[in-house]
């Protein structure tokens, strides 16, 4: 997605060979008009898949997921990372090791928000080694619902997450695919950085 790739080039900061910081539009401050376009793009890619609900994970998955939910006209459920006093219903849970925070969280969704009739689109901000997406898939599968696909805003294609998910037969649609973060530079799959304004 050209607009997103341009934004990554102009505002992203390469923190290391492994980590890209995009705090100015996705992970801290949020660019609503970019999120609107991202939502539109996810909705277009999954328009014919009978999606009934979107599942994401707090906090950075919520903005793109809500915009996709708006265009697909379906509700959005976000998995919680911490136990909440108000989250007292029957829960579906999975264990997720965070790539950036180096900690393991139990993520949970109330059972009542997923049913076996649902066709779920899983959305997240980043795909690295695939732990977050796999945790969400596990929760969806526990409910008996079907995972129709996985929508990722920024895939780091040099890490194993996308491959792992595809090996499981899951469809992955990533709006920007980063081939490398070496030497402090972002390289995309199939796009020359010089083409981007």
52, 105, 108, 131: which one contacts ligand 5GP (CB under 6 A)? 131
Q: Which two tokens stand for residue 167?
A: 């090996």
Choice between 118 and 125, CB closer to ligand 5GP: 125
Question: In angstroms, what is the minimal distance from the CB of 142 to ligand 5GP?
Answer: 18
Q: Decide if residue 12 touches ligand 5GP (CB under 6 A).
A: no
Q: Does 24 interact with ligand 5GP (rule: CB under 6 A)? A: no
Closest distance to ligand 5GP from the beta carbon of 21 (Å):
6
Under a CB-based contact definition with an 8 Å cutoff, are residues 129 and 161 in contact?
A: yes
Least distance CB 20 / ligand 5GP (angstroms): 4
Rounded-to-integer distance, Cα 126 and Cα 133, Å:
9
3-state secondary structure of 167: helix
> 117 is written with which tokens?
């009739």
Look at strands 91-97 and 104-110 and give their pairing.
antiparallel
Interhelix angle 32-45/2-11, rounded to 10 degrees, is 140
**Binder of ligand 5GP out of 129, 179, 191, 196 (CB under 6 A):** 129
Please pick, from the candidates 64, 69, 130, 151, the single residue that binds ligand 5GP as defined by CB under 6 A. 130
Q: Which residue, chain included where needed, has tokens 């996810």?
A: 42
Q: Which of 4, 5, 53, 60 binds ligand 5GP (CB under 6 A)?
A: 60
Nearest-angstrom CA–CA distance, 62 and 109:
14
Given a contact cutoff of 8 angstroms between Cβ atoms, the answer to whether 106 and 41 are in contact is no
The backbone torsions φ and ψ at residue 46, rounded to the nearest 5 degrees and listed phi first, read: -115, 20
Q: Which stretch binds ligand 5GP (CB under 6 A): 97-105, 113-121, 139-147, 187-195?
A: 97-105
Q: Does 19 bind ligand 5GP (CB under 6 A)?
A: yes
The contact set with ligand 5GP (CB under 6 A) reads: 19-22, 27, 60, 98-100, 124-133, 156, 161
């Amino acid at each position: 997605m050209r607009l997103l790739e341009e934004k990554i080039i102009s505002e992203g900061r390469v923190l290391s060979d492994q980590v890209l910081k995009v705090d100015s539009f996705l992970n801290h401050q949020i660019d609503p008009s970019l999120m609107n376009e991202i939502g539109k793009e996810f909705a277009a890619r999954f328009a014919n898949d009978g999606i009934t609900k979107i599942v994401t994970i707090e906090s950075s998955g919520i903005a793109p997921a809500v915009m996709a939910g708006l265009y697909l006209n379906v509700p959005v459920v976000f998995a919680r990372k911490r136990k909440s006093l108000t989250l007292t219903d029957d829960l579906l849970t999975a264990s997720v090791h965070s790539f950036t925070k180096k900690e393991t969280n139990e993520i949970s969704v109330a059972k009542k928000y997923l049913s076996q009739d649902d066709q779920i689109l899983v959305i997240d901000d980043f795909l690295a080694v695939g732990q977050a997406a796999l945790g969400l898939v596990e929760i969806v599968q526990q409910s008996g619902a079907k995972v129709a696909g996985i929508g990722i805003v920024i895939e780091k294609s040099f890490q194993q997450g996308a491959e792992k998910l595809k090996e499981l037969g899951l469809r992955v649609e990533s709006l920007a695919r980063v081939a490398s973060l070496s030497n402090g530079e972002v390289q995309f799959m199939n796009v020359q950085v010089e083409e981007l304004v």
